[in-house]
Amino acid sequence: MAFAPRDPRTPDPVIDEGRIDYVPTAISVTRARRHAARLIADWGHPALADDVALIVSELATNAMRHGSIPGRLFRVQLTLTKTRLRIAVSDPRGERLPRPRHPSPRDRHGRGLLIVRALADRWGVRERTTGKEIWAELDLTAALPADRCTNEP
């Protein structure tokens, strides 16, 4: 039996994982947000669906606006373990690292990372060989649904 290598960024064994590549357009942000909310609900955590959808929306919007290169896609990946949910959005522009801004009340943009920081238990940036990955993690405080748990003695 072959096992997939364990991701060092997720200390627990992976229970479920989903990833989709998107064309950097506004409709892709909408699709990524809806897909993430549906996936989290299907994984048994419907109470997190709104927060996950908002985090995905903010990170995907940043990938579309600030991380796109013509002809290249951005990726949204969700990883569920027993103790956390990791949301990662990667794009091809590694030279443009994000940083939270402090917009004035009149600014129409610039609050995305502040929203992510408010909703996530942790977040950060990981440089990749090509591009970067912005990630956020939510700790799972509720027990896993019975059909997702393993039967251990």
CB 117 within 8 A of CB 54: no
Contact criterion met (CB below 8 Å) for 30 and 49: no
70-82 pLDDT, tens digit each: 889 999 999 999 9
Residue 9 pLDDT grade (very low, low, confident, very high; cuts 50, 70, 90): low
Tell me the pLDDT band of 68, cut-offs 50, 70 and 90. confident
Packing angle between helix 49-66 and helix 26-42, nearest 10 degrees? 150
pTM to 2 decimals? Answer: 0.80
Q: Once rounded to an integer, what is the mean pLDDT over residues 135-139?
A: 96
Q: How far apart are CA 125 and CA 98, in angstroms?
A: 8
Residue 150's pLDDT is 47
Contact yes or no for 59/134 (Cβ under 8 A): yes
Share of the chain above pLDDT 90, in %: 59
pLDDT tops 70 at residue 132: yes
Q: What is the mean pLDDT of the chain?
A: 84
Between 143 and 48, whose confidence is greater?
48
Mean pLDDT of 57-80: 92
